[in-house]
Structure 1
Amino acid sequence: MPAKQSVYKNSARKEYDITDEKRAEYRRISQEARLAKLAAEQGLHDAIHEVNTPKLDPNDLMPQLETNGIRALSLFAGGGGLDLGFDRAGYTHVASYELIPICKDTLKANRPSWAVYGGPDEGDVTLIDWKAYKGKVDLIQGGPPCQPFSIAGEQRGLDDERNMWGEFNRAVNTIKPKAFVAENVLGLMNPKFEGFVQKYILEQLNDYHIVRFEMHAADYGVPQIRRRVFFVGFKTKKAFSKFTIPEPTHDKSSLDNPKNRNVQDLFATEKPKTMGVREALGLPDIGFDSLAPTIRSAFTGKRNTTSVLNSSAGQKAWGDMLIWPNGVQADREKASGFPAKHDHFRLSVSDVGLLQGFPESWKLSGAVYQALGQIGNSVAPPVAYQVAKNVAIALS
């Protein structure tokens, strides 16, 4: 097996060095959490908050469209953020490829009729001969692993063995679809990667007319601070000229800085307002609400975790909303029966999925940390939906 393939397959199981102090702290926190959870399971605590009924339905952010006849192939499918967005926009699913096995379980559970290839034996894109798909695919979409360009991933770029842009390019250049859509973290817009973008993306896909742009999930009704970059390419100049970058569908201005809400309301647009976290989750009004801090992408991170916390600043933001971002539970009933510090609201997997734009009907397979990993690594489906809609118009 080539070295790069071996490292690619095992990157999710890397060992990370931490200090003895940190290790002891993690043990202490884990022990405290384990005992508290055990007490909750034994009914030694009263429920601190009622089981919540969300007010936001992400399906409303991406109404199901009629089939448009465009055949889409998905690479690096993960938990299905892009796949779901394109599906809701009327695309015909051809196949999905994903290295992490549990993601295949998620995709098949939600769309049993889909062709899904997962795990190191069939989901490893480095092993696929894409010639079999020539003439059968109109569009390729995917999010090559973002860790090489994220701050959390140390921004090693080309030197990071998780960089899979070359494989995405290989699929596009072999199949030669009418269009492609690629998504990545905002770090790829950093000037330090301009040379990489030019040499290893734009020049490698020089048969396509490409537009690069940024999208913020909250501009499309998703109650989270989440900015991502998209690369959209078209085989013909005609389709390229017809494509427009999706305009915001929602107004997030009152949530950008909730303390200035009254002032910002004076400049609000006629677009529907993006809900804050508490409103979206159906929690009582406490006089303060805001967007969720960026949900961490920890599926292949430094340690498996049931936390969505991304930074110390995020801890304060969650705290201001009286929400506990650690120890996420499998369902709302378990979250309700497991008191969090300061009597804050404890999140469930469904709550976190909703804050990423996944509807209740999209079930995530695996343990809690695996479900959270799939959520945090995904594209917000309503954002994918808006891109997919405009690409379909351009190809019509």
Structure 2
Amino acid sequence: MKALSLFSGIGGIDLACEWVGIETVAFCEREPFCQRVLRKHWPNVPIYDDVCTLTKERLDADGIGPIELIHGGYPCQPFSSSGLRRGKADDRHLWPEVKRLLEEVRPRWFIGENVAGHITLGLDEVLADLDDIGYAAQSFSIPSIAVNADHERERVFIIANTERSGRTGVLCPELATNEEPYPHWATNALDARSHPIPRMEQSLGEPSLFRSDDGLPDRMDRSLISPRLKALGNAVNPYQVYPILVAIKQIDDLLKDTGEGQ
């Protein structure tokens, strides 16, 4: 399974993809510090620096594909409760570019990530857009504390799959009913202590995600302008998205085995 990574940051989602056997075939990230981190750990994966100029034609010309998953945490500033919450009026509102790429590339799967404030601003539009372009989608609000972190860091994850002729558009029965705080299809993957996953600090060479009481890792440069601090603040916790990727990989493999995922 091959993935295109948008708004890649320091590769949090990509690290989780690696854990479950999903290959990242291209990054799209503009920040120089994040690009250096990505090149260090994925030296053979190309990096595009502008989602607004990235197209299927360009990917095809570079021999990248086929792409079965697009994922990314599109900018949160238009929706974050810590900002002005200008939504579409914010020039950092880049969801339309994600939608365009989904229409052009047509991957089977999409994962979007954003802050909890997206629930009350913009999420309905995203879900409606996905439906309009032929994707069945469902959103989940998952805090980092649900995967044994010691901070809340609530995030919204949007999971979408292309609808198929004769199917109801529901991703799977388990995804159709989410009555538990955390989806029960993911519970077996939640306990990182019982699963052979490397710690984040060992994998990316970056400061640990496990923070001190003031919220900052002990080895972190505490300057407010530190690119490392900014990158970590924008990063997706790989443990948080890992159970979602486990489920997607299992479902996709099953559909391929039954001939429906071709």
The alpha carbon displacement at 1:136 in A equals 1.3
The residue aligned with 2:77 is 147
Map 1:225-264 → 2, pairs under 5 A: 225-236=152-163, 240-241=171-172, 244=175, 245=183, 246-248=185-187
Map 1:125-140 → 2, pairs under 5 A: 125-133=51-59, 136-140=66-70
The residue aligned with 2:239 is 382
SS at match of 2:3: strand
The counterpart of 2:140, out of the listed 184, 196, 213, is 213
The residue aligned with 1:202 is 128
The residue aligned with 1:392 is 249
CA distance in 2, matches of 1:101, 1:230: 26
Alignment root-mean-square deviation, CA:
3.1
The counterpart of 1:110, out of the listed 36, 41, 45, is 41
The alpha carbon displacement at 1:214 in A equals 0.8
Q: Deviations over 1:286-312 (max 9, x none)?
A: xxxxxxxxxxxxxxxxxxxxxx9xxxx
SS at match of 2:5: strand
Map 1:263-342 → 2, pairs under 5 A: 323-324=213-214
The counterpart of 1:157, out of the listed 87, 94, 103, is 87
Unaligned runs of 5+ in 1: 1-69, 118-122, 252-270, 274-280, 282-307, 309-317, 329-346, 353-366
Q: Deviations over 1:114-164 (max 9, x none)?
A: 2223xxxxx111112223446610010001001111112221111111111
Q: Residue 325 and residue 393 in structure 1: after superposition, are their counterparts in 2 closer, same or farther (change >3 A)? A: closer
Q: Residue type of the partner of 1:228? A: R
Q: Does 2:48 match 1:177?
A: no
Q: Residue 368 and residue 248 in structure 1: after superposition, are their counterparts in 2 closer, same or farther (change >3 A)? A: farther
Structure 1 length normalisation: TM-score? 0.50
SS at match of 1:105: helix
The alpha carbon displacement at 1:113 in A equals 2.1
Q: Does 2:242 match 1:371?
A: no
CA distance in 1, matches of 2:9, 2:68: 21
The counterpart of 2:14, out of the listed 74, 83, 89, is 83
The runs of at least 4 aligned residues of structure 1 exceeding 6 Å deviation read none
CA distance in 1, matches of 2:92, 2:214: 32
Percent identity between the two aligned chains: 26
CA distance in 2, matches of 1:224, 1:73: 29
Q: Residue 242 and residue 97 in structure 1: after superposition, are their counterparts in 2 closer, same or farther (change >3 A)? A: farther
Q: Residue 325 and residue 386 in structure 1: after superposition, are their counterparts in 2 closer, same or farther (change >3 A)? A: closer
SS at match of 2:171: helix
Q: Deviations over 1:155-191 (max 9, x none)?
A: 111111111100111111110001100000010112x
SS at match of 1:168: helix
The counterpart of 1:348, out of the listed 184, 207, 219, is 219
CA distance in 1, matches of 2:37, 2:77: 22
CA distance in 2, matches of 1:116, 1:223: 32
Once the two structures are overlaid, the 10-residue window that deviates more, 125-134 or 197-206, is: 197-206
The alpha carbon displacement at 1:349 in A equals 2.8
CA distance in 1, matches of 2:227, 2:235: 12
CA distance in 2, matches of 1:383, 1:174: 28
Paired positions, count: 221
Q: Residue type of the partner of 1:381? A: P
Unaligned runs of 5+ in 2: 176-182, 194-200, 202-208, 254-262
Q: Residue 77 and residue 71 in structure 1: after superposition, are their counterparts in 2 closer, same or farther (change >3 A)? A: same
Flag the structure with higher helix content. 1
Q: Please say if residues 99 and 129 of structure 2, whose CA atoms lie closer than 8 Å, have aligned partners that are also in contact.
A: no
CA distance in 2, matches of 1:215, 1:139: 20
